[in-house]
Structure 1
């Protein structure tokens, strides 16, 4: 799975000029938008979901999984984008993330497949810690060989 992010040009390393979770979500959607997988309204939809339901997208310490509810009109394809920020993004006192896996899926089955695959990946011993330490694509490529 890590290799496929790289092959599909869906890995980014970013520094936030405005370190807010809203800005982080917008940045994490950019590659998906650039490739036409989502439209320009998708990030706003994700922000609206977090505003409504709270920071449910921080699935484990250090990792966020921005995704929308089923039936989004702003999704044109299925993909997962990986964005690693140079500093932690704070959602609230307890929920913080540096690694964002942003999901887009055209239907509920693909959405569940993405979540399942990502969950399996994140269970790999030590992977989350390693991802949080990465600062560039060369380090990412080296990490792929271990996982």
Structure 2
């Protein structure tokens, strides 16, 4: 299920980033490159973060930046950045090591994709395996089980 929304080309393994904004930008890069989202989508995430805080840091070590479809999402898609050194988002769940950007073309069609994401992220063992992975192929192998 996740394989169709999170191909190998959407997965990055980075040692570190300078700050949470760079983590979000890195997660957006593959989606922007394929025109699955527009730059306004990323700007909307930053704007909402300024207004209400890191609403998308959903669990310890896990951020899922997203915005509303009308903010510039053109398709259902995911991208994943795995950070060897976590970054602080200003959340109780800091530091974040998994940044999973979610894009949806409307408010309903992404629910099945989100269900598969929930299955993955609720598997603590899989999350730790991803964080400890040493290459993108290893990460994809774990993610694509869901």
Q: Give me the TM-score of the superposition, normalised by structure 2.
A: 0.84
Answer yes or no: is the 8 Å Cα contact 2:20–2:89 preserved in 1: yes
Of 68, 89, 92, 1:91 maps to: 89
The runs of at least 4 consecutive aligned structure 1 residues that moved more than 6 Å come to: none
Please name the residue that 1:117 is paired with. Answer: 116
Q: How many equivalent residue pairs?
A: 144
Q: Which has the higher contact order (CA 8 A, sep 6+)?
A: 2
Answer yes or no: is the 8 Å Cα contact 2:57–2:91 preserved in 1: no
Deviation string 1:93-139 (CA, Å, 9 cap, x unpaired) is 62321101100101000243332221122122411111111232243
Once superposed, what is the RMSD of the aligned Cα atoms? Answer: 2.3
In structure 1, list runs of 5 or more residues that go unmatched: none
In structure 2, list runs of 5 or more residues that go unmatched: none
State the shift of 1:47 in Å. 1.2
Q: Give me the TM-score of the superposition, normalised by structure 1.
A: 0.84
Please name the residue that 1:102 is paired with. Answer: 101
